Amino acid sequence: MILSASIIASDAARLGAQAREALDAGVDWLHIDVMDGRFVPNITVGPFVVNALRPLADETGAKLDVHLMIEEPRRYVDDFIAAGADLVTVHVETCTRLHRVLAHIRSRGAMAGVTLNPGTPLSAIAEALSGVDMALVMSVDPGFSGQKYIPESTDKIRRLRDMLDRTAPRAWLQVDGGVYAGNVREVVQAGATVVVAGNAVFGGASIADNVQALRKAAAPEA
């Protein structure tokens, strides 16, 4: 399991320190949620945060995993890649020319991901899967950290895993939303290879203990 820590749940006043602490504790990637107040009812960060985290990612070998929850993502893809994004994920709901956007991301040297809201059927991204490095299942309605996992997401993960195995077997399957130690094994067993965790990493007293608990819970039973 690749563990991608969602910085939206960190203490913004100590973002750099908490990001380093998470990586030191065993997190693999940093997940950067970009929200514009239009596609989702929240506003978060821009390329400047990606740029600020780039030296830490270079030092630790982490990937900067940028999730664009914004209208007209094609207008901003270049800015995020120039700032240092390793992987850029866009929503099918915001891309009328999805194949073109994904191809452009790859042409700029970044990896391309595609995702969809919980209420959007997998058929909406089926024709694009051969051109992605990662497909993301949103297991909450995007916009805010700390929401509860939508139970029906598990079957959606299984179905997407089957689609990827037939179309893009080397692509990652990421799951984002409401994942914690109590359900992470279910998510991984359904087929997820990358798990996004926000409060489950940054909440409570100890980031290191949180990461250890996620790792232990995700491990196959002996």
Model confidence pLDDT, tens digit, residues 166-215: 999 999 999 999 999 999 999 999 999 999 999 999 998 899 999 999 99
* Residue 165, pLDDT score: 97
Q: What are phi and psi of 102, to 5 degrees?
A: -65, -45
Structural domains in the chain, sorted by start: 2-217 (3.20.20.70)
Who contacts 154 (Cβ-Cβ below 8 Å, separation ≥6)? 186, 187, 190
Q: Would the pTM of this model clear 0.85, i.e. be above it?
A: yes
Of 138, 135, 160, 134, residue with least CA distance to 147: 138
* Residue 222, pLDDT score: 39
- Catalytic center residues: 33, 176
pLDDT band at 17 (very low <50, low <70, confident <90, very high): very high
- The three-state secondary structure class of 197 is strand
Locate 33 and state its tokens: 């949620």
Give the tens place of pLDDT for each residue, 106-144. 999 999 999 999 999 999 999 999 999 999 999 999 877
